[in-house]
Amino acid sequence: MKKLLCYVGINNKFVMCEHFPDDEEHAGLHDMLQDFLDYDDALADEPVPQGFYMLEFEIEYSEHAWDGEQEAYLQLKAYTPHKGI
């Protein structure tokens, strides 16, 4: 499981405080996080109190029906308040 710190602001929008490095060691996690941020603009369906949260991601896979290739993406599994800031 991959964890990153974020800040939840107005209108349940979140801003990442940490990112995965864009290097070979992290093997595409940087790009998967960018895709996640492009498509998901709210942390949850219900309002979340403003503050810092630790996001927990897992890598999920989907298979294309037309060619059988798999696509990897980050799925938000949990978010917990972060009190270290």
pLDDT per residue over 29-79, tens digit each? 888 888 888 776 666 777 888 899 999 999 888 887 677 788 888 888 998
Per the DSSP assignment, residues forming a β-bridge with 61 are 72
- 20 half-sphere exposure, CB direction, 13 A CA radius: 23
Q: Are 35 and 20 in contact (CB under 8 A)?
A: no
Q: Are 48 and 8 in contact (CB under 8 A)?
A: yes
11-42 as b/e: b if 16+ CB within 10 A: ebebeeeeebeeeeeeeebeebbeebeeeeee
Q: In the structure, what pLDDT confidence band is assigned to residue 85 with cuts at 50, 70 and 90?
A: low
